[in-house]
Amino acid sequence: MEKIPEASFSSLVLFLTTIASQHLGVVKNPLTDKVEKNLELAKYTIDSLDMLREKTKGNLTKEEEELLENIINSLKLSYARENKK
């Protein structure tokens, strides 16, 4: 059995990133082993990360802020690219 990592801000952000990536069709859903694109849910997850950034402003380490900022920017670019298709 895989060891579950300790709960942290970074692991939460990475968990939400994985979910957004699944909805963008970038990675397979591990339960179905299929690519399941759902841009509406991808946008919801990206918006949730954006909200998390706003609610935690001033309370994060520099590394956490950079991680969140980079991930949100990357996901927004991927979303825009997928939404144009």
Output the DSSP codes for 47-64.
HHHHHHHHHHTTSS-HHH
- The 10s digit of each residue's pLDDT in 8-29 is 999 999 999 999 999 999 999 8
Average pLDDT over residues 73-82: 96
Domain-embedded: residue 4: no
Q: How many Cβ atoms from other residues are within 10 Å of residue 20's Cβ?
A: 27
Domain-embedded: residue 63: yes
Does residue 1 surpass a pLDDT of 80? no
Domain-embedded: residue 1: no
Average pLDDT over residues 17-45: 93
Domain-embedded: residue 26: yes
Domain-embedded: residue 72: yes
- The 10s digit of each residue's pLDDT in 48-63 is 999 999 999 999 999 9
Query: What domain range is 41 assigned to?
Result: 9-84
pTM of the predicted model as reported, rounded to 2 decimal places? 0.88
Q: Which of 17, 29, 11, 63 minimizes the C-alpha distance to 3? A: 11
